[in-house]
Structure 1
Amino acid sequence: MGMFDRVLVANRGEIAVRVIRTLKRLGIHAIAVYSDADAGAPHVALADEAVRIGPAPAAESYLDPARIVRAAIETGAQAIHPGYGFLSENAAFGRACAEAGIVFVGPGELALEVMGDKIRAKRHVEASGVPVVPGVSEPDATDDELLDAAPLVGFPILVKPSAGGGGKGMQVARDERELEHALPAARRVARAAFGDDTLLLERFVERPRHIEVQVLADAHGTVIHLGERECSLQRRHQKVVEEAPSPLLDAATRERIGRAACDAARSVDYLGAGTVEFLVSDAAPDEFFFIEMNTRLQVEHPVTELVTGVDLVEQQLRIAAGEPLAIAQDEVRMTGHAIEARLYAESPERGFLPSTGDVLAWRPASGDGVRVDAGVREGQRVTADYDPMIAKVIAYGADRAEALDRLDAALADTVVLGIETNTAFLRRLLAHPDVRAGHLDTGLIDRLQEPAAGPAEAIEPAAGPAEATDDGTARLTAVGRLARERAHRAASAHDHAWRRERGWRLGGAARVAERGARAAADLDRATVRFADDGTTWVHLDGRTAAVPTLDRRAALEDRLARLERGSDVDPDLRAPMPGSVTTLFAADGDHVEAGQAVLAIEAMKMEHRVTATVAGIVRLRVAMGEQVARDQVVARVEPIAEATGHAASDEPRAGAHEAAAPSAPHQE
């Protein structure tokens, strides 16, 4: 067949950028596709040609096989690279490509169908001698049948949707009562996310390590592996930090687990690059169990590329073009250490809810051993239409300690202003003693106390630099306010002095002058941007803060409203972020208890339940399918008056929304 001349990339963001870079290096004409939301996206600008495929919703653009195939035909593409996520593991899409005479850069139909169903995949590889976790995987099993089978599996139990991936819909049940609640919840998420609510049960391995093996297989019968990746640092089953090689495995186990991964790939006549995932017991690292096989490139593939020197996208293209592998198993070498951190547009201090907005500043890190795969640009708007991951920051070192140090420095040098990100959270995680020592497991992040301040550190409007207890936060606040004050002066040069001078206080002139000098010096080194809502964004010395405009009147009105209510609990329930109302758990006028779910909002492929803060009567302010803005009042709970005339004394919950629950396909 020979190498392709024209290849269409059926994806977006950093995924498409990553694939297009290899296409251009190989001299292949790169064709991008884009939705209306991505018309000015970096992957569109990088490609040699770009085709509009529909409006912003993924179902009407990136997830529509007919639109993708039509774009390939119209542009003369010989092959389609699906990236990862979207249609990359869709067997029907693979068939549609074949029917159109276009090469699908991925495995054949057998691998897509078998490995795309967790129940079928588990049975299939078990028959090939690959060890699996004890469990129940009857495709037509009802909730009652799964409850009856649970004692045979043994608690704790992991409930998993058979279709899909990325941890969507997974629930852990430690007893029968928890399982009764977990089953319908998992079915609902699976049905909404994948159109298939089939569930399976597995023994939940306490303190497990998540180890995956990269495999390559050509059409000439050769199957090799490129070593393993440690993906144990996860938050609610979503990978956060990945590395290669694993600090857990010894050489003998590495050889055994690699051989098992190749056996799993051979069992489905695998073609291309794929990943076989295993659970490895932290207490018994020589034991491992098959979880699933991802029949595509993985988000974390760069760490394997850095330690092996193999471009996995290039290998995918060569295999799809019919070329035999030019690498033998005994030629694979893993040298040094690589670690990747996923940079998400999310707000850790708001329960890791996705964040949206305009990117006011974007400056990726650089330097020795640093690689950044990104699909964002300055001026771009991050919407709730797609996955919240905006970039991956990867660091390579001679050993694990050097890679960790370089990754932390790279995160400190990464500037993203205008949207909240998880950068500060990632740095705290990398500094944790267990992470530094390599003592990892999939529950480590969830056991840690979630940070009180997120990557864009929340600043109370009423608190000035003098009142802040954190010196770093105080410095960023002072820089932000000085920058805003200078901008205000420049725009209002003729204002009265008493309106311009904000730092004066009785007896504090010397102290204010000292702080002002320090802030002025810091401002010269800081990156500062002003948002339309009055927020000043500041990046300085590896830290980022969003400094709001001081609004003491609003703060006073809020305090008076709380006094009038006689409680700090706000009966207004607000949307935690922009999104669409997908479920109403209560009708207008229903009685609810504190902590009871009132409605669900979906955004960036995640479902967020908004819960009642007090017991009372629900007054809905939104309808099913309605688009809502962040902090918009979506419902109000009117507290029920007791005989004394005082509000009901139900103990309020800490927040008005539950933790985010995965609800739709994620990149990983």
Structure 2
Amino acid sequence: MFTRILIANRGEIALRVIRTCRALGIETVAVYSDADADAAHTRAADVAHRLGPAPAAQSYLDIERVVAAVRATGAQAVHPGYGFLSENAAFARRLEEEGIVFLGPTAASIDVMGDKISAKRAVAARGVPLVPGVAEPGLTDEQLIARADEVGFPILVKPSAGGGGKGMREVHDPADLAEALASARREAAGSFGDDTLFLERLVLTPRHIEVQVLADEHGNVIHLGERECSLQRRHQKVIEEAPSALLDEATRARIGQAAVDTAKSVDYRGAGTVEFIVSADNPDEFFFMEMNTRLQVEHPVTEQVTGVDLVEWQLRIGAGQQLALAQDDVTLTGHSIEARIYAEDPARGFLPTGGTALDVSFPTGEGIRVDAGLEPGQRIVSDYDPMIAKLIVTARDRQEAVARTRTALAGSAVPGIVTNIGFLQTLLEMPEVVAGDLHTGLIDAMTEDDLAEAVDPAALQLAAAHVAAAEADRATDSHIAGEPVGMWADGSGWRGVAPARTVVPLVHRGERHDVEFLHPPVRARGNAADRSGAASGSVIGAPGAGSTLRLTLEGEQVTGRVWASADGRTLWVRTNAGLAQLTRPRADTAIGAAAAGAEVLAPMPGSVTGLRAEDGETVVTGQPVVVVEAMKMEHVLTAPADGVVQLSTVQGAQVALDEVLAVIVPEDAEAGADAGTGIESGAAADAVLQDAAVQATRE
């Protein structure tokens, strides 16, 4: 067995490999980019070696830098994890040249399986069933069109190289095939540098079933059952489970043997996954799609139901050992579900998000496993994949596993970062998912209403309470120091005898909520008197990253936890309904009721890279106003209405999610408020922000 290995990856998969190595007494070397200098995997390994700057091309994807790190640290083998260089034949070949063990298949196996056309040829020779299609290298668009009738419509156009759904096109009408081919070639060439295409018959109501295999260099190959990965968004998996609810024992044995034959077709070595497509209408009929020549993201569900440590066997096989398991030794016990937690916003088209994790909270207990590489205070950067954790729940059967996964997700939260946790809960509550009636188009068929997340009324009140309590704390401290501040400075409505009534404006997903809150004039986390129809309460704990609040709302007690961003403008509130993100609009971006206009909001945290309209300029609906860049994507924000632009940002500004960047005011609007302060006069003051008295938040 090896004494030291290098892990050419980061985050949760690096920590996963470290865990098994530690149990086997193997030292580990972590590699890191400048963005990961203090990451969890960097600190967990026995040795850490810097690769280079944050961009993956200059660090994790640089073959020569990784090879140099192996030589410098004396590692005997490299575990590639998944992603990055894990299926890079040139990397595997380079390690072979250096006499370094690659904990994966040979470069030759990666070459064959990395090209979908050559892979189909290899498995066809072993009798593995294929989807009817035309898969020959070098065919022109005209040749593919001429042979489309051999396949039969509907047709799926697929690129030979790459994956992730890039370059794939569904064609239902023969008249649309020419344009689909041209579009697919452009995308395949841009994404993979290879525009080779092939055609497959489109399987309706498809289910994605994959089989885990293990193979040693002595010719032994076994499978460890199947995983169902049909819940995916735009060909990216979201929920995976083992075993599949679709297959019976006879089909399970047949598809497992097909996976073994696939591995044997390329003299495979190590852990790999063979992917099949199965029609929900004909579950006993399956077709080979491709083979992933690496460990899969979803490997934990197989480990949970078989009791086999796949990383351990990657290490043992890499060291030349024979498989100690025979096919009859593999049994599936219970049911396991993995939910991928991403830093992304489902309600905004699943745009990736960023930010700093103010806290990281996942449940523990029997049957719960969390593979995560995120810690409190860690920043999510745009250079890498947005997956931040995997929640794996195992139970006696599928019904119990689904229910327990929903409960575990409800107990998960990463304040500071917008995630898909709420979406995953919604997904697992769908009747089709509960019943196991899955298919790969289920998520993509969800509507905006399905993806929308309503805000919990209790979260709004707790956020308002946090704002009011924080200002009271600050005012008390400043008053003791003899420095007038907030309400003491301008007498804006706070009273010295009766509890003051404050209306705190908050924004949730672009919608403004004016939240009324009752509080005493000055308090340092003390108790407030209850008032019918409004909120009052107490704050437990010292001001900091997270505070627990208790409120009485219309006679009922509500408890929640509130975190504030560094600038205090973004609040994260956790209640029984989940985690809500609320933004406090800046005072200088608020406008009065008489001049009410349409707001241009930042769709995600990022930087302003362009202003397409000047302050005071008249614009029409759809005209570009502000350009925001985030996660290597540029978003041109346009005017939602005709009117006059009131800019609230500048070029180069770092902006938060839902921050007001501009307001489009109707030209005939009357100036009914002071737009510079955001404070309404007279009776209108009850509807919006009550001055600087609630402007400060807990640091």
Match of 2:65 in 1: 67
1:484 aligns with 2:484: no
Q: Work out whether residues 210 and 232 of structure 1, in 8 Å CA contact, stay in contact via their aligned partners in 2.
A: yes
Match of 2:324 in 1: 326
The match for 1:195 among 190, 193, 205 is 193
- Greater relative CO (CA pairs within 8 A, separation 6+): 1
Q: Work out whether residues 385 and 603 of structure 1, in 8 Å CA contact, stay in contact via their aligned partners in 2.
A: no
1:443 aligns with 2:473: no
Unaligned residue ranges in structure 2 (runs of 5+): 480-486, 495-499, 504-515, 520-528, 539-548, 610-619, 643-651, 665-699
Match of 1:106 in 2: 104
Counterparts in 2 of 1:450 and 1:338: CA distance versus 1, 3 Å: farther
Equivalent-residue separation in structure 1 for 2:214 and 2:629 (angstroms): 36
Provide the identity percentage: 55
Farther-moved stretch of structure 1 (595-604 vs 272-281): 595-604
Deviation for aligned residue 1:362 = 0.7
The match for 2:230 among 229, 232, 249 is 232
Task: After superposition, give the CA deviation of every residue in 1:390-411 in whole Å (9 maximum; x if it has no partner).
Answer: 0000100011111111111111
1:258 aligns with 2:278: no
Q: Work out whether residues 425 and 451 of structure 1, in 8 Å CA contact, stay in contact via their aligned partners in 2.
A: no
Deviation for aligned residue 1:578 = 4.2
Equivalent-residue separation in structure 2 for 1:601 and 1:4 (angstroms): 49
1:534 aligns with 2:569: yes
Task: After superposition, give the CA deviation of every residue in 1:153-196 in whole Å (9 maximum; x if it has no partner).
Answer: 22222222222223233232222454444334433333333232
Match of 2:583 in 1: 548
Unaligned residue ranges in structure 1 (runs of 5+): 460-472, 563-567, 582-592, 617-625, 639-668
Length, aligned pairs only: 592
Alignment of 1:285-296 (within 5 A): 285-296=283-294
Equivalent-residue separation in structure 2 for 1:82 and 1:263 (angstroms): 25
Task: After superposition, give the CA deviation of every residue in 1:310-342 in whole Å (9 maximum; x if it has no partner).
Answer: 000001000010000011100100000000100
CA RMSD of aligned residues (A): 3.5
Deviation for aligned residue 1:574 = 7.0
Equivalent-residue separation in structure 2 for 1:484 and 1:334 (angstroms): 52
Match of 2:550 in 1: 520
Match of 1:210 in 2: 208
Equivalent-residue separation in structure 1 for 2:433 and 2:218 (angstroms): 41
Counterparts in 2 of 1:433 and 1:575: CA distance versus 1, 3 Å: closer
What amino acid is aligned across from residue 582 of structure 2 in structure 1? V
Match of 1:663 in 2: none
What amino acid is aligned across from residue 194 of structure 2 in structure 1? D
Equivalent-residue separation in structure 2 for 1:141 and 1:318 (angstroms): 43
Equivalent-residue separation in structure 2 for 1:357 and 1:391 (angstroms): 15
Q: Work out whether residues 482 and 520 of structure 1, in 8 Å CA contact, stay in contact via their aligned partners in 2.
A: no
Equivalent-residue separation in structure 2 for 1:612 and 1:182 (angstroms): 30
State the SS of the aligned residue for 1:392.
strand
Q: Work out whether residues 131 and 288 of structure 2, in 8 Å CA contact, stay in contact via their aligned partners in 1.
A: yes
Equivalent-residue separation in structure 1 for 2:590 and 2:530 (angstroms): 28
What amino acid is aligned across from residue 164 of structure 2 in structure 1? G
Q: Work out whether residues 598 and 609 of structure 1, in 8 Å CA contact, stay in contact via their aligned partners in 2.
A: no
Deviation for aligned residue 1:363 = 1.4
Equivalent-residue separation in structure 2 for 1:68 and 1:628 (angstroms): 34
1:421 aligns with 2:404: no
Equivalent-residue separation in structure 1 for 2:427 and 2:33 (angstroms): 35
1:130 aligns with 2:150: no
Alignment of 1:296-307 (within 5 A): 296-307=294-305
Deviation for aligned residue 1:602 = 9.0
Equivalent-residue separation in structure 1 for 2:622 and 2:249 (angstroms): 50
State the SS of the aligned residue for 1:394.
strand
Task: After superposition, give the CA deviation of every residue in 1:637-660 in whole Å (9 maximum; x if it has no partner).
Answer: x9xxxxxxxxxxxxxxxxxxxxxx
Equivalent-residue separation in structure 2 for 1:132 and 1:604 (angstroms): 38
Q: TM-score, normalised by structure 2?
A: 0.78
Equivalent-residue separation in structure 2 for 1:450 and 1:370 (angstroms): 31
Q: Work out whether residues 575 and 610 of structure 1, in 8 Å CA contact, stay in contact via their aligned partners in 2.
A: no
Equivalent-residue separation in structure 2 for 1:185 and 1:128 (angstroms): 34
Q: Work out whether residues 36 and 55 of structure 1, in 8 Å CA contact, stay in contact via their aligned partners in 2.
A: yes
Match of 1:664 in 2: none
Deviation for aligned residue 1:573 = 10
Equivalent-residue separation in structure 2 for 1:36 and 1:517 (angstroms): 45
Q: Work out whether residues 409 and 421 of structure 2, in 8 Å CA contact, stay in contact via their aligned partners in 1.
A: yes
Task: After superposition, give the CA deviation of every residue in 1:211-251 in whole Å (9 maximum; x if it has no partner).
Answer: 00000000111000000000001111111100000000000
The match for 2:376 among 363, 371, 378 is 378
Task: After superposition, give the CA deviation of every residue in 1:505-556 in whole Å (9 maximum; x if it has no partner).
Answer: 7999975565324973489842321112501111122501112225576353
State the SS of the aligned residue for 2:295.
coil
Q: Work out whether residues 369 and 406 of structure 1, in 8 Å CA contact, stay in contact via their aligned partners in 2.
A: no
Alignment of 1:379-394 (within 5 A): 379-394=377-392
Match of 1:404 in 2: 402
1:158 aligns with 2:156: yes
Match of 2:91 in 1: 93
Equivalent-residue separation in structure 2 for 1:604 and 1:129 (angstroms): 44
Counterparts in 2 of 1:203 and 1:602: CA distance versus 1, 3 Å: farther
Q: Work out whether residues 417 and 537 of structure 1, in 8 Å CA contact, stay in contact via their aligned partners in 2.
A: yes
Deviation for aligned residue 1:120 = 1.1
Counterparts in 2 of 1:153 and 1:627: CA distance versus 1, 3 Å: farther
Counterparts in 2 of 1:452 and 1:627: CA distance versus 1, 3 Å: farther
Task: After superposition, give the CA deviation of every residue in 1:348-397 in whole Å (9 maximum; x if it has no partner).
Answer: 11111001111111112211210000011111111111111000001000
Equivalent-residue separation in structure 1 for 2:605 and 2:175 (angstroms): 32
Q: Work out whether residues 580 and 601 of structure 1, in 8 Å CA contact, stay in contact via their aligned partners in 2.
A: yes
Counterparts in 2 of 1:27 and 1:128: CA distance versus 1, 3 Å: same
Task: After superposition, give the CA deviation of every residue in 1:57-88 in whole Å (9 maximum; x if it has no partner).
Answer: 11111111111110011000000000011100
Equivalent-residue separation in structure 2 for 1:553 and 1:438 (angstroms): 51
State the SS of the aligned residue for 2:9.
coil
Counterparts in 2 of 1:231 and 1:380: CA distance versus 1, 3 Å: same
Match of 1:221 in 2: 219
State the SS of the aligned residue for 1:286.
strand
Task: After superposition, give the CA deviation of every residue in 1:560-605 in whole Å (9 maximum; x if it has no partner).
Answer: 474xxxxx6x8x8977664999xxxxxxxxxxx9999999999658
Counterparts in 2 of 1:632 and 1:60: CA distance versus 1, 3 Å: farther
Q: Work out whether residues 110 and 269 of structure 1, in 8 Å CA contact, stay in contact via their aligned partners in 2.
A: no
Farther-moved stretch of structure 1 (188-197 vs 90-99): 188-197
Structure number, greater radius of gyration: 2
Q: Work out whether residues 212 and 276 of structure 1, in 8 Å CA contact, stay in contact via their aligned partners in 2.
A: yes
Match of 1:311 in 2: 309
Equivalent-residue separation in structure 2 for 1:553 and 1:614 (angstroms): 20
Equivalent-residue separation in structure 1 for 2:466 and 2:167 (angstroms): 45
Equivalent-residue separation in structure 1 for 2:280 and 2:469 (angstroms): 56
State the SS of the aligned residue for 1:361.
coil
Equivalent-residue separation in structure 1 for 2:109 and 2:622 (angstroms): 44
Deviation for aligned residue 1:148 = 3.4
Farther-moved stretch of structure 1 (379-388 vs 517-526): 517-526
Farther-moved stretch of structure 1 (66-75 vs 190-199): 190-199
State the SS of the aligned residue for 1:402.
helix
Task: After superposition, give the CA deviation of every residue in 1:14-58 in whole Å (9 maximum; x if it has no partner).
Answer: 111111111111111011001111111111111111111011111
